[in-house]
Amino acid sequence: MKTIHLALMGAGTVGQALLELLPTHQARFQALGLELKLARILVRDRSKPRPGVPAHLLTDEPKGFLEGADLLVEVAGGTAQAGEVVLEALARGLPVVTANKALLAERWDALREHAEAGRLHYEASVMAGTPVLGALQSLWGNQTLALHGIVNGTCSYIIQRLEEGATYAEAFAEAGALGYLEADPTLDVGGIDAAHKICVLGRLTVDPGLAWAEVQRRTRGIAHLTPQMLRQARAEGYAIRLVASLYPSPEGWVGAVRPVRLPQEHPLVQLGSGRNALVYQGHPVGSLVFAGPGAGGGVTASAVLGDIYRALSGQPGHRPLPAPAPLPAQPAPAFEEV
């Protein structure tokens, strides 16, 4: 039996859900010849009440946190401290599992070589427990034409509840209670979280060098949407959704996030309302649709745990596309922005 010492950064919504899941998987790890032991848990504030979290393992000191660790799981969020810890782990040769799309999107220059080497596992970073990153890597045999997704659970939920007649304040509070919100929820409603995710998706499917600044420049959120606008669209046979897209332009592949009008029968409306959905268009495979829950503690922790299995079985992490995909001859039809 080989003992694996796991260093966990973050014990919030996702971290605590992971801590609940881990003991239920000990027998399966043992069947792989592995005994999983928590080494330390790094948080900001050790004095916070955290039922079910082993208090003796908590630390608020990043220095020494990785000593003796065999694997880092980062579910803290943010780009500064989380970035330093992740880069230190990678420099030590540890595999890293992370759900942190902000870090992946914004500090790609430092992380890219490690992702290329297969040391970074990040299935949970996009669509949480709905596994799309592995699936997109299996589509490299296609000419990608476009990709469109509802990838922010908070906005998807808020829009659905507004359509059902809830107030914005009610919908926002419910999304918080469900564990959907980022620590800074302006990232959700401002479209930035979806922009982080389309960056991650873009580097796996169309351009490994897709630049965060370019995607950020083409990002808008949902703050200006009103129930009246949603009702009007519905009366005309449409629905307004926050859609993150990858599409070709004469200058290269573009990543963008904005609210758009979609026909009611569009798969993103039919399958993505209140949750997440993705439509991939490629040749020769055609149009593929993925849909499922894209936020929440348990759902996200399940994907983190899936990555832990992969990392500990020696499987590589999520590698970006080796080179930019060729631009398709036909431009993709544009959606109507709202």
Q: Could you give the residue numbers annotated as active site? A: 197
**Does 294 engage in binding with ligand HSE (CB under 6 A)?**
yes
For ligand NAP, which residue has the nearest CB? 12
Q: Would you count residue 20 as binding ligand NAP (CB under 6 A)? A: no
Site string for ligand HSE, 93-132 (x = CB under 6 A): -----------------------------------x----
Instruction: Single out the residue of 18, 43, 311, 327 in contact with ligand NAP (rule: CB under 6 A).
Output: 43
What are the backbone dihedrals phi and psi of residue 184, each rounded to the nearest 5 degrees, phi first?
-110, 95
Q: Does 219 bind ligand NAP (CB under 6 A)?
A: no
Please identify, using beta-carbon distances, which residue of 74 and 182 lies nearer to ligand HSE. Answer: 182
Which of 70, 182, 207, 307 touches ligand NAP by CB under 6 A? 182
The answer to whether the bond into 185 is cis (omega within 30° of 0) is no
Smaller CB distance to ligand HSE: residue 193 or 207? 193
Q: Is 175 an interacting residue with respect to ligand NAP (CB under 6 A)?
A: no
Interface residue with ligand NAP, options 69, 73, 99, 257 (CB under 6 A): 99
Q: Of 70 and 307, which CB lies nearer to ligand NAP in the complex structure?
A: 307
User: Smaller CB distance to ligand NAP: residue 77 or 208?
Assistant: 77
Radius of gyration of the chain (CA): 20
Question: Applying CB under 6 A, does 295 fall inside the site for ligand HSE?
Answer: yes
Does 153 help bind ligand HSE (rule: CB under 6 A)? yes
Given a contact cutoff of 8 angstroms between Cβ atoms, the answer to whether 147 and 244 are in contact is no
Residues numbered 157 to 196 that lie near ligand HSE (CB under 6 A) are 180-182, 188, 193
> Distance between CA atoms of 121 and 72, rounded to whole angstroms?
10
**What are the DSSP calls for 264-314, one per residue?**
TTSHHHHHHTTSEEEEEEEETTEEEEEEE----HHHHHHHHHHHHHHHHTT
**What are the CA-CA distances from residue 321 to residues 87, 137, 146, 205 (Å)?**
21, 8, 15, 6
Residue 281, both tokens: 């268009």
Q: Is 224 left (phi over 0), alpha (psi -120 to 50) or beta?
A: alpha
DSSP per position, 79-104: SSHHHHHHHHHHHTT--EEE--HHHH
**Owner of token pair 């993925």:** 290
- DSSP bridge partners of 120: 96
Question: Binder to ligand HSE among 154, 160, 205, 281 (CB under 6 A)?
Answer: 154
- C-alpha distances (whole Å) from 275 to each of 36, 150, 175, 296 are 32, 8, 11, 11
Residue 116 C-beta: closest distance to ligand NAP, Å: 22
Binding residues vs ligand HSE (CB under 6 A) = 128, 152-154, 180-182, 188, 193, 294-295
Binding residues vs ligand NAP (CB under 6 A) = 9-15, 42-45, 48, 75-78, 81, 99-101, 124, 128, 179-180, 182-183, 295-296, 300
